[in-house]
Amino acid sequence: MSKRLFIGLELPLVSRKMLAKLDPHIRGLRWVSVKQFHLTMSFLGQVEEAQEERLRTALGAVHVASFFLPIQGVGVFGGDRPTTLWAGVGKGHPHLFALHKHIQDAVMQAGFEPDLRSFHPHITLARVKDAQPQSLRPFLHQHEKTDFDLWQVTGFVLFSSVLSADGATYKVEMRREF
């Protein structure tokens, strides 16, 4: 049996609730559930049970010192036709990039192909479905440099994800504390 897996940083509940309150209720913008706010470190897709066990072992060896990460600013992916509204995490936090490298090393050690795309750390806030770009501009301008929160990253999570018509449901499969 396989699972759809990804590795992410779990935000504290207070941070997730604060992000949920940002929802500007713009038509065509589907805000992410409070339960689902996270920062993806590596998306793996469908993973068979044996490979998941190798992955768990490799991830269990990842260790970095805990660090603080800001939640700062908002933006969109998709340019003139936005698809995703996100919150940022500052400018290239070195500890975050070090953790990303260690996680990618563990993923490769477990037999997965390396993810060669550049890492753009963010927290997805909403999916853009038929929202007019000009309707997003005031929200983006208002919050482009806002300091929302600061959270201490003390570990990461291996999540499974089940897709449905109502969106994805996430389940914690493994938690790795530093």
Comparing C-alpha atoms, which of 122, 132, 108 is closest to residue 26? 132
Q: What is the pLDDT of residues 49-98, one digit of tens each?
A: 999 999 999 999 999 999 999 999 999 999 889 999 999 998 868 999 99
Which amino acid belongs to residue 1? M
What pLDDT score does 2 carry?
A: 95
Task: Give the predicted TM-score (pTM) of the model.
Answer: 0.94
Pick the CATH number of 2-68+94-121+148-177 from 3.30.70.2740, 3.90.1140.10, 3.30.70.360, 3.40.50.2300: 3.90.1140.10
What pLDDT score does 26 carry?
A: 96
Comparing C-alpha atoms, which of 58, 2, 32, 15 is closest to residue 176? 58
Overall average pLDDT of the 145-165 stretch: 95
Share of the chain above pLDDT 70, in %: 99
Overall average pLDDT of the 135-161 stretch: 97
Decide: 26 and 136 in contact? Cβ < 8 Å: yes
What pLDDT score does 138 carry?
A: 97
In the chain, the N- to C-terminal Cα span, in Å, equals 30
- Give the whole-angstrom CA distance, residue 51 versus residue 101: 20
For CA atoms 7, 99, 128, 87, the dihedral sign is positive
Domain ranges of the chain: 2-68+94-121+148-177
What pLDDT score does 3 carry?
A: 97
What pLDDT score does 41 carry?
A: 97
Task: Provide the mean pLDDT of the chain.
Answer: 95
Overall average pLDDT of the 2-12 stretch: 97
SS3 content of the chain, % helix, strand, coil (to 5): 30, 40, 30
Question: Which residue blocks in 80-166 are alpha helix, DSSP H?
Answer: 94-109, 133-143
117 falls in which pLDDT band (50, 70, 90)? Answer: confident
What pLDDT score does 145 carry?
A: 94
What pLDDT score does 16 carry?
A: 97
pLDDT(167) > 80: no
pLDDT(122) > 90: yes
